[in-house]
Every structure is written in C-alpha cells, then in structure tokens.
Amino acid sequence: MRYLSTTLFILLAFMVKPVFAEDDHSLITPQVQNYIGYGAIILAMLLFIGVMLVLLKTFKVLTRIILKSEGYTEEQITAELQPAKKEKKQKAEVWQKLLSLRPLAEEKELLIAHDYDGIQELDNPIPAWFMYLFYATIIFAAGYLLTYHVFKVAPLQYDEYKTEMAQADIANKIYLSKAANRVDENTVKLTKDPTVLAAGQVVFKTTCVACHGEHAQGNVGPNLTDDYWLHGNKINDLFKTIKYGVLSKGMPTWEKQLSPKQISDVANYVKSIKGTNPSNPKEPQGTKETDDAGPAPKKQLVSVLVK
Ligand code: HEC
C-alpha cells in the first residue's frame, strides 16, 4: 500500500510536469521542473531496488520455510542459502589489500598517541591503489620528459600544430589548383583579378603574339582589342575559341598545350585589353559586338545622359 502511494505520487509528478512547462506564469522555473523530474527518476530507481531487495528477502524466507518443512537443520539451511562463501572471502582479501585496509582487531596498533577531546586518529597506510597510481604518474612524467624535451623524439604541441598547418596549406593549394583547373567554357568566370590577368599576359606573350601581334593588334590572327569579333566576345566564347581553336582558319587548338586555368587566364587577359588601341591595328574582322552584360554598358548609359 505504501509503495503504491509512492508510485502514484511519482506518476502524478510526471503527468503534472508538462502542464507546468506550458504555463508561462508558473512559479516553478523550467530548471526546477527539471530537477523535480530527475528527482522523480532517481526515486523510481531507488524504489525499484527496494522492491527487488524485499522480493529477495521474501524468497529467502520462503526457501527457509520450505527447507525446514523438509527436515533440514538450521545449519544446513544457512549453508544452503550462502554458498560460494570461500570465493567471497578471497575477493574481500584482494579488495582489502588494494585499499590497504587493516582488520578492526588491529585498530589498537594503529592508534596514534594523541587524543583531542576524545577524538583519536588512526595511522592507516596510504591505500595501495593510490600508491600504484602515484608511481605510474612518476614513470609517465619521466617518459614524457625524455621523449619530448631530452631526446626530442616526438614534436611538441606547437611544432605539431605548425606541421599540421603546413600540411593543410599544401592540401589546400592542391585543392585550389585542381578546382581552378576544373573550369571549362560553361563555368569560366570573368574576373579583373590582377594575378589572373598577369598570368594570362604571360601565356599571351609566350604563345599568342606570333599570330595576334605583340599588342594583340592582329597579324595572321585578328585584332583582339577592337569591337569586332568572328566567334563572340563573351568570356565563354573566348574560352571556347582558345580551347578548341578554328583549325580551318589557322587558329590552333590550345586544349592540349594549356591547362584549363591557363586558358581561363588568357581569356580574361584578352577581355582586359579591349579598347587599348594599339598602333597598326589589323582591319576589323567579324561583327561589332557590345560588351558582356556588366558594369560597362551602364557607364555608356551614364555618358549618354551627360551628353
Ligand atoms: C598560328 C597562329 C595563331 C596562334 C599561335 C594563335 N592564334 Fe588565335 N587566331 C588565329 C587566327 C588565324 C584566328 C582567326 C580564326 C578565324 O578566322 O575564324 C584566330 C582567332 C582567335 C580568336 C577569335 C577572335 C575573334 O574575332 O573571334 C581568339 C580569341 C584568339 N585567336 C585567341 C588566341 C590566343 C589567346 C592565343 C594564344 C593562346 C592564340 N589565339 C594563338 C591564329 C592564331
């Protein structure tokens, strides 16, 4: 009956909790509610253990009664109910050794010869487990000192950090170069990044000037600085023309010689030199093309408005 009421109380506490949680004006803060919840769980567990103990006791009493009715003596019953006694004792010995416990009978020998208002002190030894742990820390410290500071076999934290960062840097560079080389005529981006333009200029000076002229004014190939284009002036068009070439008209394919990144760089360089008006320009070829959608047309619009 007593347990029943406790169980009911706990159940009630669980059921009440959500109601509290929904009420903003509740005097019990959510934190306290949590504590109540935890308390209820712990209580339930304790109750469960209690019930188990009571059950165990009941079984023991029942066994005793049954055995008695079958004519066992009191000693036999006790022996029956507590088997494995020997093993238990051995375990206790190991336990006692580990804790360096001394039997109560030896307490007199352990007493320190002073007495403060009847309070006396026992000179118990330090537990063995603690001493083992302590020795282990000393051995560890010696090993640590030798490896990290004397023989320097392993790197210290900061060095480890530095090497890891360096590795990450290399990995990052490889990743970025790979990512840059994954570009094609569909994904190529127009950019004014000076490093990209400088790289593009290097490619242009080494591979393109023979046919397009020192200043891209045109030679065998067309002028690349004017407004007239045979194959389109969008960055994607330029990339495509440079990558695949126009073999029938004498513009080579660059797919094999240049990496996608180099093609992207030189295409951006070509875009950047538009309108530079070099001397001796080749006559215009193709159709006149306005610039890509971007900041440039806006500028024109502004100048028109100013006029
Ligand atoms: C062997 C000579 C030669 C070389 C080297 C050469 N080109 Fe060309 N290029 C041409 C010719 C010829 C054309 C004209 C193709 C046509 O008439 O369709 C052309 C056309 C182009 C066009 C298209 C122009 C337009 O009006 O649409 C671009 C862009 C271009 N070249 C860029 C380059 C770049 C960048 C390089 C260096 C990587 C390069 N070319 C190297 C001969 C060359």
pLDDT of res. 177: 85
> CA-CA distance, 141 to 138, in Å (whole number)?
5
Cβ-based neighbours of 102, under 8 Å, separated by 6 or more: 110, 124, 125
| Exposed / middle / buried, residue 264 (Cβ in 10 Å: 0-12, 13-18, 19+) | buried
- Check residue 242 and give its pLDDT: 96
Q: What mean pLDDT is reported for the chain?
A: 84
Structural contact between residues 250 and 211, judged by C-beta atoms closer than 8 angstroms? yes
Any atom of ligand 1 within 6 Å of the Cβ of 263: no
Q: Locate tokens 């109750």: which residue?
A: 47
For 52-74, what is the mean pLDDT?
Answer: 89
Residue carrying the six token digits 């406790």: 6
Spatial distance between the Cα atoms of 194 and 203, rounded to a whole number of angstroms:
14
pLDDT for residue 297: 44
Please, how many CA atoms are within 13 Å of residue 100, restricted to the half-sphere of its CB? 11
For residue 90, the model assigns a pLDDT of 66
Average pLDDT over residues 165-184: 91
269 ligand 1 Cβ < 6 A: no
Res 96: pLDDT? 76
Instruction: Pick the more confident residue, 115 or 98.
Output: 115
Residue 303 in this model has a pLDDT that exceeds 70: no
- The answer, yes or no, to whether residue 45 has pLDDT greater than 80, is yes
Q: pLDDT (tens digit, 9 = 90+) per residue, 194-245?
A: 999 999 999 999 999 999 999 999 999 999 999 999 999 999 999 999 999 9
Mean pLDDT, residues 95-120 taken together: 81
pLDDT digits (tens, 9 = 90+) for 259-292: 999 999 999 999 999 989 898 899 999 998 876 5
Q: Residue 295's pLDDT is what? A: 43
Per-residue pLDDT at 14? 60
Cα of 189 from ligand 1 centre, angstroms:
20
- Residue 260 CA to residue 181 CA, distance in Å, equals 5
Which residue has the least CA distance to atom 43 on ligand 1?
A: 251
Is residue 253 predicted with pLDDT exceeding 70?
A: yes
Contact 222 CB / ligand 1 (< 6 Å): yes
pLDDT higher than 80, residue 64: yes
Q: What per-residue confidence (pLDDT) applies to 33?
A: 84
Question: Is the pLDDT at 83 greater than 70, yes or no?
Answer: no
Q: Is 68 in the pocket of ligand 1 (CB under 6 A)?
A: no
Distances (CA, A) of 138 to 142, 143, 247: 6, 9, 78
**Nearest-atom index, ligand 1, CA of 231:** 27
Closest atom of ligand 1 to 232 CA is 27
Among 33-42, 68-77, 135-144, the minimum mean pLDDT is found in: 68-77
